[in-house]
C-alpha cells in the first residue's frame, strides 16, 4: 500500500492534534456557545500546528506552534468549564486532557527545534 500523505501528516504531533479535535467534536458539549468555542479552539490547535510543521524558518514555525499552544490551552479550559456547568461528560474531558498533555510536550519540543 502506498502512503499518499505528506511528511508532516505522518508525525505524531499531527495525529494527536487531529485526535484531540475529533474528541472535542464528538463530546457534543450541550451548551451551544461553549461547544462552538471548544471546537473552534481544537480545530485551531490542529490547523496552526499543521501550518507550522512544513515550514523551514524557525521564527515562522515558532509563531504557529505558539498559536497552536494557545488554542490548546483554550480547548482544555473550555472542556473543563463544560464539565463544571454540566454540559459535558467528565470522561470526555479526561480523554481530551490526556491528549492535550501529550500534545503540549510535543509543541514545546517543536518550539525549540531547528
- Location of C-alpha cell 471548544: 38
Report the SS3 class of residue 11.
coil
Helix residue ranges per DSSP H, the chain: 12-27, 32-52, 58-84, 90-111
Of 69, 80, 73, the residue nearest 29 (C-alpha): 80
Residue ranges of domains in the chain: 8-111
CATH class of 8-111: mainly alpha
Residue 1: pLDDT over 90: no
For 41-85, write each residue's pLDDT tens digit: 999 999 999 999 999 999 999 999 999 999 999 999 999 999 999
Residue 109 pLDDT: 96
What's the predicted TM-score (pTM) here?
Answer: 0.94
- Report the chain's mean pLDDT, rounded to a whole number: 96
Q: Are 25 and 92 in contact (CB under 8 A)?
A: no
Cβ-based neighbour number of residue 86 at 10 Å: 9
Amino acid at each position: 500500500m502506498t502512503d499518499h500523505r505528506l511528511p508532516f501528516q505522518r508525525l505524531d504531533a499531527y495525529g494527536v492534534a487531529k485526535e484531540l479535535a475529533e474528541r472535542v467534536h464528538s463530546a457534543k458539549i450541550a451548551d451551544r456557545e461553549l461547544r462552538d468555542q471548544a471546537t473552534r479552539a481544537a480545530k485551531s490547535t490542529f490547523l496552526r500546528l499543521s501550518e507550522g510543521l512544513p515550514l523551514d524558518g524557525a521564527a515562522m514555525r515558532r509563531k504557529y506552534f505558539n498559536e497552536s499552544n494557545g488554542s490548546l490551552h483554550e480547548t482544555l479550559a473550555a472542556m473543563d468549564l463544560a464539565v463544571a456547568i454540566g454540559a459535558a461528560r467528565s470522561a470526555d474531558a479526561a480523554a481530551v486532557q490526556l491528549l492535550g498533555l501529550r500534545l503540549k510536550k510535543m509543541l514545546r519540543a517543536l518550539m525549540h527545534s531547528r
